[in-house]
Amino acid sequence: MMNANKYSPGYFPPSHNEYRWVKKDHPDHAPAWCSVDLRDGNQALIVPMSLEEKLEFFQLLVRIGFKEIEVGFPAASQTEYEFLRTLIEQDLIPDDVTIQVLTQCREHIIRKTFEAIQGAPRAVVHFYNSTSKAQREQVFKKSKEEIKEIALEGARLVKQLSEEYDGNFLFEYSPESFTGTEPDFALDVCNAVIDIMEPTVERPMIINLPVTVEMSLPHIYANQIEYCSDRLHNRDAIILSTHPHNDRGTGVADTELALLAGAQRVECCLFGNGERTGNVDAVTLAMNMLVLGVDPQLDFSNMPEIVEIYERTTRMHVHERQPYAGALVFAAFSGSHQDAIAKGMKCKEEDPEGRWTVPYLPIDPQDLSRTYDADVIRVNSQSGKGGIGYILETKYGYNLPPKMREHFGYVVKDVSDRHHSELKPDEIFDIFKATYLNLDAPLLDIKEVHFLQGKNLKAVVTAVRQGLEEEWFATGNGRLNAVNNAIKQGTGLEYTLETYTEHSLSNNSSASAACYVGLLWPDGTRTWGAGTNSDIIFAGILALASAVNARFIEKDEVE
């Protein structure tokens, strides 16, 4: 039995807030994005990336549009160090990209870091020390003043070395475990660091207030951000940054509310990779902005490629239900969902402004290089006529009449149910052909039809019925009616031709017309047939013959 009494909140709400962020709907512009995949994300991997993999991942981040990329903790390992030197010495850093390195506020680590970034065209030196109550008391066993002095010593050394080493350096400070730190103390430490670093509007400094461990509901973090944002020294020369982890599963919400509360920059990882439950997911954050009409300034349009490179280089898996990126996030198996999506797609085509309002799809899958037939309408035993009909129409060009579409829906669902599997579009089309299309068995095969004009239109039908060729004659008030009468007289069958529709079939180069016929039999059952041919009259005849043959096809013959 779990014991809730052993837990108590470890966070510290600020003493006063204006709560201006509550009145905002959403961020109205993109933040500055910093990818920490190659540092925070990489150190969380069971098998960290090799030099070659890190270079490939770096290039991916550049293509996506990240202008700030934390490339490692160069004092932590030789691979980290070599990666950084490779980027600098081989001139692999684009002019508009700033690299970032992380260092603790410890002298030997800071010095090793500056050795690693010497000659960088532009680099952020990110220094930090932990300030939380728990770490002060349990790990360091130091007072607030002693913890503050660690930060100040680190700031002084960073500033000193930035003047001694060759390079273009910017600065970032983080009070690690900010969420477990008293806001007034975190603010005091940050302001003391700012006073030492003396940032200017032309060369601002980053103050990063990380959610090192999620401890509260997201609105508490937003309050902490707003409180500090209002009280930081030299605020115009400060870029307020956030680095949320996801321990409570609300990292995205933490970030979105922090942006409302004054944060201007986000440190994040693709697909939420990172320590423990991960960092905030850059993909979800950016796409959430996009669907609200805000340009995130990151390009995830080739999502399949991004997922492939990420999974291969990190050996991590993008979950099937991962927002925007998962293999099944756009998939609709439910019949009602499929029907709504299919109807929404029709409305979208008729909207002159091209607005995206399709039910169940907050974003157009094609914007992420996903396809409707392969990724959206997915067919299994839970599917309905709307989605199945949508696949036939959009992928193969067949627009079945409503009652035939319903009948085909049950046929497909029955096959899926008996096989306990999803059916791919080509499998659905194969079932359609076996059930309805140009059927020449088991009863009759129409070989030739001639029409004789006279007082009444006369059809001469040559057909093979159960292996024997026969010729039938009948009149009618139209060509299909005459052929229908000839078939009924030749076979002795009784039925009513209840439904007939036709349309051009542009998706198929070998046939220009498609026709559908529905027959009502004396016992109340209906059968359906479809015909395709370059001659629309003969396509209708083939559909009629198919509907007759369908009466005699056993269920297992369509699989």
Which strands form 496-504's sheet, in the order they lie side by side? 496-504, 513-520, 526-533
Cα separation, 340 vs 144, whole angstroms: 59
pLDDT tens-digit map of 8-37? 999 999 988 889 999 999 999 999 999 999
pLDDT at 282 over 90: yes
Give the global pTM: 0.82
Say how many CA atoms lie within 13 Å of 169 toward its Cβ.
25
pLDDT at 257 over 90: yes
Calculate helix-pair angle for 51-64, 78-89, nearest 10 degrees: 50
Class of residue 108 by CB neighbours under 10 A (exposed 0-12, middle 13-18, buried 19+): exposed
Residue among 224, 185, 214 at smallest CA distance from 19: 224
Tokens of 73: 């903790």
Residue 353 vs residues 57, 91, 291: alpha-carbon distances, Å: 38, 45, 16
For all residues of the chain together, what is the average pLDDT? 93
Give the pLDDT of residue 511. 62
* Amino acid identity at 272: G
Domains observed in the chain: 30-314 (3.20.20.70), 335-436 (no CATH), 444-558 (3.30.160.270)
Give the pLDDT of residue 17. 82
Residue 23 gets which letter from DSSP? G
pLDDT at 350 over 50: yes
Residue 150 vs residues 114, 145, 185, 258, 503: alpha-carbon distances, Å: 18, 9, 14, 27, 78
CA angle 228, 231, 237 (to 5 degrees): 95
Give the pLDDT of residue 558. 47
Give the pLDDT of residue 234. 98
Region of 459 on the Ramachandran plot (φ > 0 left; ψ -120 to 50 alpha; else beta): beta
pLDDT at 507 over 60: no
Reduced to 3 states (helix: H, G, I; strand: E, B; else coil), residue 228 is: helix
Contact 24, 256 (CB under 8 A): no
Give φ, ψ of 97 to 5 degrees: -115, 135
